[in-house]
Structure 1
Amino acid sequence: MSSLTDLVAIVQRAQQSALALSAMKGTDRSRALQLMAEVLAEQQDDILEANTLDLEISREMAVPELILEWLKLTPERLQMAGKTLQRLAELSDPIQQILNVPSYQVDECQTYSQLTPLGVIAFIYESFPELGVIAAGLCIRSGNSLVLRGGPEASHSNQAIAQALRLAIDDAGLPVDCLQFLPTDHGDLIRELVTQDQYVNLVIPYGRSSLVQQVVRQATAPVLKTAIGNCYLYWSLSGSLDMARWMILESHRSEPDPVNAIEKVLIHREHSSTALNMLASSLKEKGFKLRGDASLVENYPELFATGVEFSEWGQAYLDNTIAFKTVNGLEAAIHWINQYSSGHADCLATESYQESRLFALGVNSAMTYINASPRFYRNPKRGSSIALGMSNQKGHRRGLIGLETLTTLRHIVQGNGMV
């Protein structure tokens, strides 16, 4: 691919394939997902070899350690992506489900709606080679075409994965152009891709905030913003130490990207010094680096040797750093979270029912967790909510990015010709 003309041809083929894919039986798409999982397992060694090459090149080019961690594939990460494909194959077909629409009725007619695919999804991501697999699985299951545009640091890994998946799609009898891969060695085509609103129905950027904001600024096609990190916990005066500690530690256990990791902790200023010492010490023992606001640095220099710059309250660390701040109470905590949180997952540790209700109603985030771990699972052990990531916007969809996120509603009014 060497020009904008080639890119337009690619998204046009994706659009035509989306029309054919949406008309196919759910069982055909299920079979494709099963074959995709099998081919992924068969070509695991080749994919890991390509990933090793990406890692070697990235280290020579001094790519940040965070990106290297996101980039590094392991057999376990690749196998988990394959299991996600298998589980998607077992789910019921999400499209063409009939839904009643009691709020809209026409005399002498039957009115209903059904879920239908969006069409063409563009997934723009940095590192995370296995996310291309999960995005492809979600799109095939929901009847959408997918255009993959990964980062240059993962070019060999992404190409090996895309080739394997396209082989399986072709073997399953699906239109092979429903999965498109844009290589990175032909220039930066992100701006050109996200402005193809005639063909691209949704753009999903995934990675650091800088990438997401770049796509949001440039796109003319609809964008589903994603968010990683900078989630807040308010440790209420009534909240137990064990609960706060467990919520923080558990939130950081998602790999390779702890999407809902608690990076900021607001504490009631009347919390006992003993409880604060115990929490901070246990976190330090687990390898966390702690930072504090001015009052905490002054009063607890042995716990919080490093202060927090004001800009940090609204930014994700994306590592094992946690910043602490004292507040006067629940109202102040809610106000601070609404102003500086990334807005996709925020938490409360409390023993007060009234506080839990006020927090749930007052915090303006996609998801709130009260005395519960916000840990993010792409392929949860139970339930059917396989998710690509988390969205913090109020536009197209909000919260978990799953199968329903990639569909829209079509309304049907069926009459009998009588006036």
Structure 2
Amino acid sequence: MTTDSTVPSPTATAAVSRAYQASLELANAKGVHRNQTLKAMAAALEKAIDNILEANTLDLEASREMAVPDLILEWLKLTPERLQTAVQILHRLAELPDPIQEALSTPYQVEYCQTYCQRMPLGTIALIYEAFPELGVIAAGLCLKTANSLILRGGSEAINSNTIIAQVLQRAIEESGLPPSSIELLPADPGASIRDIVKLDQYINLIIPYGRPSLVEQVVKQATAPVLKSAMGNCYLYWGLSGSLDLARWMIIDSHQSEPDPVNAIEKVLIHHDQSYTALVTLLNGLKEKGFELRGDPALVAEFPELTLANPSEWSQAYLRKVVTFKSVENLEFAIAWMNRYSSGHANCLVTESYQESRQFALGINSAAAFINNSPRFYRHPQRGSAIFLGMSNQRGFRRGLIGLESLTTTKHIIQGNR
């Protein structure tokens, strides 16, 4: 992380100010114009794939020399497939209906007046992220679609990748007739603190931190502008007596297939204390065969010595790798209370054949999403539906849940008199 200063640097302030001015122009840009620009961005990115991969190789080599953790290296590594997915997302965004200025009904009514809500852009959005170079592309697409400007502040490990991606997108935007400062990239160096961005609330309307929990909490603690928290990992599964062994195993394994970031990975499993010994042995063996590291609470470790004893602090921490920790619990009520206290709060799961249990879980769990007999695997670019998602938010307020187009907009109430 960088060294913080109490006063934002002139470089950061100037860049953020340019992005703010660009947001004023974007707010008046027609949806057709923004869609054409998205297609131009996709074409430019596709042409530059070889150059981007070359820059990414430089980042990877430098990061390995600096002993950057393997987790970050995996997030940092670009492939042609990952970049092609980003290109596809830009094309798909261009095909979606324009979310801006959509008229919405409102319960607020005034006599002798026409009253309605209109969807509007937020203005200027800042993405502060670790690694994930292609995430800048996806965020840029979402922001342009919603007529917002974007400030990118990536980590130092991805400086070459982020720089060339931002330059490619800026040129495409400028050639399309929109302000190039619709995207501004801030340098990730000791002279450009995270605090330089998060304190500029006179220009920035929303900050989205994306990465390890330590980064997210740093932004939340320092920011004076509104923050939309994101979360990864530390999702829970409760496996009750009526739950299918095969379904539980599939849900755990499939939840870890999201690449490159295990957003909704099941990392903790609560099991009923009367669950079949044979079924549990089968589950543990099946996960070990898939390369999972397995841990447990004292009661389970005593019964299954192959489990590693979990530290009490781990119940509230995300592993962000193929680790699953098991705990024996009394019943569903206890499991719900435990999840509400210790999980990350964005996606928790239940496997059961009881309708009553499924309703109890759906109503009692305090998380953004509840998955019942289905894998919580996260798809940034789902095959069904029309949405594109940046991530998942676990905050219990503004825009909880999937971070998509609607998350980057607000509403304005229009009251028009008929006299």
TM-score class, shorter-chain normalisation, is over 0.9
Q: Which residue of 2 aligns with 1:94?
A: 99
Q: In structure 2, how many angstroms separate the alpha carbons of the residues matched to 1:357 and 1:186?
A: 51
Q: Contact 1:338–1:365 (CA<8 Å) still a contact in 2?
A: yes
Q: Which residue of 2 aligns with 1:327?
A: 329
Aligned residues: 413
**1:1-46, Cα deviation, whole Å (9 max, x unpaired):** x972232222121111111111111111101111111111100011
1:356 is aligned to 2:358: yes
Tell me which amino acid in the other structure corresponds to 1:41: E
SS at match of 2:350: strand
Q: In structure 2, how many angstroms separate the alpha carbons of the residues matched to 1:386 and 1:45?
A: 25
Q: Contact 1:224–1:395 (CA<8 Å) still a contact in 2?
A: no
The 5 A counterparts of 1:4-403 are 4-101=9-106, 103-185=107-189, 187-302=191-306, 304=307, 306-403=308-405
**1:345-398, Cα deviation, whole Å (9 max, x unpaired):** 000000000000000111100000000110000000010121000000022210
Tell me which amino acid in the other structure corresponds to 2:64: R
| TM-score after normalising by structure 2 | 0.97
Q: In structure 1, how many angstroms separate the alpha carbons of the residues matched to 2:355 and 2:374?
A: 14
SS at match of 1:185: coil
Q: In structure 1, how many angstroms separate the alpha carbons of the residues matched to 2:410 and 2:70?
A: 39
Q: Contact 2:242–2:353 (CA<8 Å) still a contact in 1?
A: yes
In the TM superposition, residue 323 of structure 1 has moved relative to its aligned partner by 0.2
Q: In structure 1, how many angstroms separate the alpha carbons of the residues matched to 2:312 and 2:414?
A: 52
In the TM superposition, residue 186 of structure 1 has moved relative to its aligned partner by 5.7
In the TM superposition, residue 192 of structure 1 has moved relative to its aligned partner by 1.5
Q: In structure 1, how many angstroms separate the alpha carbons of the residues matched to 2:341 and 2:8?
A: 43
Q: In structure 2, how many angstroms separate the alpha carbons of the residues matched to 1:130 and 1:55?
A: 15
Q: In structure 2, how many angstroms separate the alpha carbons of the residues matched to 1:45 and 1:200?
A: 33
Q: In structure 2, how many angstroms separate the alpha carbons of the residues matched to 1:307 and 1:349?
A: 25
SS at match of 1:275: helix
SS at match of 1:369: strand
Tell me which amino acid in the other structure corresponds to 1:46: N
Q: In structure 2, how many angstroms separate the alpha carbons of the residues matched to 1:206 and 1:270?
A: 39
**Which structure 1 residue ranges, 4+ long, deviate > 3 Å from structure 2?**
none
Q: Percent identity?
A: 65
Q: Contact 2:235–2:265 (CA<8 Å) still a contact in 1?
A: yes
Q: In structure 1, how many angstroms separate the alpha carbons of the residues matched to 2:300 and 2:142?
A: 45
Q: Contact 2:12–2:192 (CA<8 Å) still a contact in 1?
A: no
CA RMSD of aligned residues (A): 1.0
Q: In structure 2, how many angstroms separate the alpha carbons of the residues matched to 1:415 and 1:11?
A: 38
Q: In structure 2, how many angstroms separate the alpha carbons of the residues matched to 1:192 and 1:39?
A: 30
Tell me which amino acid in the other structure corresponds to 1:239: G
Gaps of 5+ in 1: none
Q: In structure 2, how many angstroms separate the alpha carbons of the residues matched to 1:185 and 1:210?
A: 18
Q: In structure 2, how many angstroms separate the alpha carbons of the residues matched to 1:100 and 1:85?
A: 30
Q: Which moved more, 1:306-315 or 1:174-183?
A: 174-183
SS at match of 1:409: strand
Tell me which amino acid in the other structure corresponds to 2:288: K
In the TM superposition, residue 184 of structure 1 has moved relative to its aligned partner by 1.6
Q: In structure 2, how many angstroms separate the alpha carbons of the residues matched to 1:300 and 1:13?
A: 60
**1:193-240, Cα deviation, whole Å (9 max, x unpaired):** 001000000000000000000000000000000000000000111001
Q: In structure 2, how many angstroms separate the alpha carbons of the residues matched to 1:295 and 1:106?
A: 63
Tell me which amino acid in the other structure corresponds to 1:198: Q
Change (3 A) 1:339 1:186: closer
Q: Contact 1:31–1:89 (CA<8 Å) still a contact in 2?
A: yes
Q: Contact 1:97–1:115 (CA<8 Å) still a contact in 2?
A: yes
Q: In structure 2, how many angstroms separate the alpha carbons of the residues matched to 1:107 and 1:350?
A: 51
SS at match of 2:189: helix
Q: Which residue of 1 aligns with 2:417?
A: 415
In the TM superposition, residue 185 of structure 1 has moved relative to its aligned partner by 3.4
Q: In structure 1, how many angstroms separate the alpha carbons of the residues matched to 2:178 and 2:303?
A: 64
Tell me which amino acid in the other structure corresponds to 2:278: T
Q: In structure 2, how many angstroms separate the alpha carbons of the residues matched to 1:188 and 1:249?
A: 40
Gaps of 5+ in 2: 1-6
Q: Which residue of 1 aligns with 2:3?
A: none
Q: In structure 2, how many angstroms separate the alpha carbons of the residues matched to 1:186 and 1:26?
A: 39
**1:289-317, Cα deviation, whole Å (9 max, x unpaired):** 10011011101113x1x100000000000
Q: Contact 2:114–2:418 (CA<8 Å) still a contact in 1?
A: no
